[in-house]
Chains A and B, each alone.
Chain A
Amino acid sequence: MAAYIIRRLIQSVFTIFGVMLVTFLLFRVVPGDISANYVSAKLGKEARQAWLVNHGLDKPRISNPACRYEFWKAPFWDTQFCRHVYDCVTFQSRSYATNERLIDIIAQKAPYSLAITVPGLAMSWVLSMIVSCLVAYYRGSWIDRAGVFISVLGMCIPFLAYMIVGQWIAFQIYPPAAYGLRFKMNIYVPVLISVVAGIGSHVRFYRTIILDEVNRDYVRTAMAKGVPLPGILFQHVLKNCMLPILTDLVLAIPFLIMGVMLLENFFGIPGLGSLIVNSVSARDVPIITALTFLTALVYTLGLLVTDVLYGVFDPRIRLR
Chain B
Amino acid sequence: MDAPEPTVNAADAAGRSGRSLGADAARRLSRDKAAVACFAIILVYAAIAIIAPFAYSGWKDNLDYANAVQPPSLKHWLGTDKFGRDVLQETLLGAQVSMTVGVMSNIIAVPLGMILGALAGYFGRWIDDLVVWLYTTLSSIPGIVALIAIKFAFYGKVLFAGTFLQMDLSGLAGIYIALGILSWIGTCRYVRAEVMKLRELDYVVAARAIGRGDLAILARHIMPNVLHIGIIMFSLGFVGAVMAEVILSYLGLGVGAGVSSWGSMINAARMDLVVGRWWELTAAVTAMFILVLALNIFGDRLRDALDPRLRNV
Residues of A within 8 A of B (CB): 11, 14-15, 18-19, 21-23, 26-27, 30-31, 145, 148-149, 152-153, 155-161, 164-165, 167-168, 171, 205, 208-209, 212, 244, 254-255, 258, 261-262, 266, 276-277, 280-281, 283, 288, 291-292, 295-296, 299-300, 303
B260-299 Cβ-contact flags toward A at 8 Å (1 or 0): 0001001000100110000001000100110011001100
Q: Are B145 and A276 in contact (CB under 8 A)?
A: yes
Q: Which of A15, A167, A168 contacts B140 (CB 8 A)?
A: A15
- Tally of contacts, chain A with chain B, CB under 8 A: 121
Contact of B141 among A22, A157, A262 (CB under 8 A): A22
Let me know if B92 is at the binding interface, CB within 8 A. no
Contact B266–A292 (Cβ < 8 Å): no
25 contacts between A and B (CB under 8 A): A18-B133, A18-B136, A19-B137, A22-B141, A26-B153, A30-B157, A31-B152, A152-B1, A152-B293, A156-B292, A156-B293, A158-B243, A158-B288, A160-B285, A161-B281, A161-B289, A164-B270, A167-B273, A266-B270, A280-B253, A281-B252, A288-B152, A292-B146, A299-B141, A299-B142
Among residues of A, the one whose C-beta sits closest to the C-beta of B4 is: A140
Q: Are A276's CB and B148's CB within 8 A?
A: yes
Q: Enumerate chain B residues within 8 angstroms of A209, measured Cβ to Cβ.
A: 312
Q: How distant is the Cα of A160 from the Cα of B134 in the complex, in angstroms? A: 31
Say yes or no: B142 contacts A255, CB within 8 Å: yes
Smallest Cβ-Cβ distance to A254: which chain B residue: B142
A148-B1 contact, Cβ under 8 Å, with A159-B247, A165-B273, A262-B247: yes
A158:B292 contact, CB within 8 angstroms: yes
- Which one, B136, B243, B270, B312, contacts A15 given CB within 8 A? B136
Which residue of the partner chain A has the closest CB to B292?
A156
Instruction: State the CA gap A299–B136 with chains docked (Å).
Output: 10
A272–B187 Cα gap in the complex (Å)?
31
Closest CB-CB distance, B105 to chain A, in whole Å?
17
Residues on B facing A (Cβ under 8 Å): 1, 133-134, 136-138, 140-142, 144-146, 148-150, 152-155, 157, 243, 246-247, 250-253, 263, 266, 270, 273-274, 281, 285, 288-289, 292-293, 296-297, 311-312
Query: Does B142 contact A164, Cβ atoms closer than 8 Å?
Result: no
Asked if A291 meets B140 with Cβ closer than 8 Å, knowing A159-B247, A208-B311, the reply is no
Given A22-B138, A159-B243, 10 additional A-B pairs, CB 8 A: A11-B133, A18-B136, A30-B154, A152-B1, A152-B293, A152-B296, A159-B247, A164-B266, A277-B251, A291-B145
Q: Which residues of A contact B263 (CB under 8 A)?
A: 160
Question: Which residues in B have their C-beta under 8 angstroms from that of A254?
Answer: 142
Which of A31, A145, A156 interacts with B155 by CB under 8 Å?
A: A31
Distance between B307 CB and nearest chain A CB, rounded to angstroms? 15
Q: A161-B285, A171-B274 are in contact. Are A31 and B311 (CB under 8 A)?
A: no
Given A153-B293, A280-B148: A300 and B140 interface contact (C-beta under 8 Å): yes
A205 nearest CB neighbor, chain B only:
B312
